[in-house]
Amino acid sequence: MFEMFPKFFTNQFPLVTYINGLIEDSIINVVKTGPVPQHIALVMDGNRRYAKVNGIQLRSGHDAGADALVDVLGCCYRVGVKAVTIYAFSIENFNRSQAEINTLLELLKQKLLYLSDTSHYAERYNVRINIVGNKDMIPDEFRSDLDKVEELTRYHTKRTLNVCFPFTSRDDITSSIANVANRVLSKELAVADINLQQVSNSVIDRTSPPLDILIRTSGHTRLSDFLTWQLSQNPTSTVVFTNTLWPNFKFWQMMWILLTWSYYQAINAGEICIMTTND
């Protein structure tokens, strides 16, 4: 569903690519006429199942997932989303086999270097890439490349990509509390002054707009310890669970969610809302 022209046609015939581009531009212009979310979070689930269903290597499933991410980021930034936060690597992912961890980390590094390259996303969309999470857990051999990604994009101010790696919300909230405790120890803050705002100021992506939509693909209807603080902070956040496996999640799936969200804003503002979509 939702594939206007199969990849075969868009790869083979330039005219089909051109028409596809025109249709996409028109849909984007339609979406822009309604309210547009300012901040979207993605739990990109289903890469391994995609590999299994399509009879390909696990690594190719993750590759397809990374390609889908590049497409989806383009959609978000084109409609005017200011910040995208992705669950790139959960602390729990360190429990996978060493071979899979290496595959994931290498892919993450390569894709982030690609995105931060000035000739690609960084310049086109003016995106600043922030690596957020428990940086102490990042293996040494990846640190310099990830620092480079942040350095290359630090002067971009229009849009943000927060890459949560390695991350869980409980870990994020725990470090935030430790941060507040250290400020109390150094007498910068009195115990009586500790409040929600002080903790909020230390959790990740505090500079991004409030979280509007969290999307989880592949049919699992749980949050898996992702952005629980941020979801509670915005009473109108929408959580979307879709059955589509992440590598199949592309332009049309994203546009459908954005249009539905626009409609929900009109009828349902004022409470956290859960939406589900099928393939």
Q: Which of 100, 84, 101, 80 is nearest to 34 (CA)?
A: 80
Tokens of 180: 């507040």
250 binds ligand FPP (CB under 6 A): no
Out of 27, 31, 39, 65, the only residue in the binding site for ligand FPP (CB under 6 A) is 65
Q: Report whether 90 contacts 225 (CB < 8 A).
A: yes
Q: Which stretch binds ligand FPP (CB under 6 A): 6-14, 101-109, 151-159, 266-274?
A: 101-109
66 binds ligand FPP (CB under 6 A): yes
108 or 122, CB closer to ligand FPP?
A: 108
Angle of helix 58-79 relative to helix 14-32, nearest 10 degrees? 50
69 binds ligand FPP (CB under 6 A): yes
Alpha-carbon distance of 192 to 165, in angstroms, equals 33
H/E stretch holding 234: none
Q: Work out how close the CB of 256 gets to ligand FPP at its nearest, in angstroms, rounded to a whole number.
A: 20
Task: Give the count of alpha carbons within 13 A of 64, CB side only.
Answer: 22
242 binds ligand FPP (CB under 6 A): no
107 or 138, CB closer to ligand FPP?
A: 107
Q: Which stretch binds ligand FPP (CB under 6 A): 41-49, 121-129, 183-191, 261-269?
A: 41-49
Q: Work out how close the CB of 119 gets to ligand FPP at its nearest, in angstroms, rounded to a whole number.
A: 17
Beta-carbon contacts of 111 under 8 Å, excluding residues fewer than 6 positions away, are 66, 69, 70
Alpha-carbon distance of 38 to 72, in angstroms, equals 15
Q: Work out how close the CB of 144 gets to ligand FPP at its nearest, in angstroms, rounded to a whole number.
A: 17
**CA torsion, points 238, 229, 156, 68, in degrees to nearest 10?**
-50
93 binds ligand FPP (CB under 6 A): yes
Alpha-carbon distance of 62 to 191, in angstroms, equals 46
H-type alpha helices, the chain: 7-12, 14-32, 47-53, 58-79, 98-116, 140-153, 169-185, 196-200, 228-233, 251-268
108 binds ligand FPP (CB under 6 A): yes
Give the DSSP letter of residue 123: I
Out of 218, 237, 238, 244, the only residue in the binding site for ligand FPP (CB under 6 A) is 218
Q: Work out how close the CB of 154 gets to ligand FPP at its nearest, in angstroms, rounded to a whole number.
A: 18
Q: Which stretch binds ligand FPP (CB under 6 A): 12-20, 44-52, 231-239, 250-258?
A: 44-52
47 binds ligand FPP (CB under 6 A): yes
45 or 212, CB closer to ligand FPP?
A: 45
Q: Work out how close the CB of 150 gets to ligand FPP at its nearest, in angstroms, rounded to a whole number.
A: 13
Alpha-carbon distance of 277 to 279, in angstroms, equals 7
Out of 88, 146, 149, 203, the only residue in the binding site for ligand FPP (CB under 6 A) is 88
* Binding region for ligand FPP (CB under 6 A): 44-49, 62, 65-66, 69, 86, 88, 93, 104, 107-108, 111-112, 163, 218
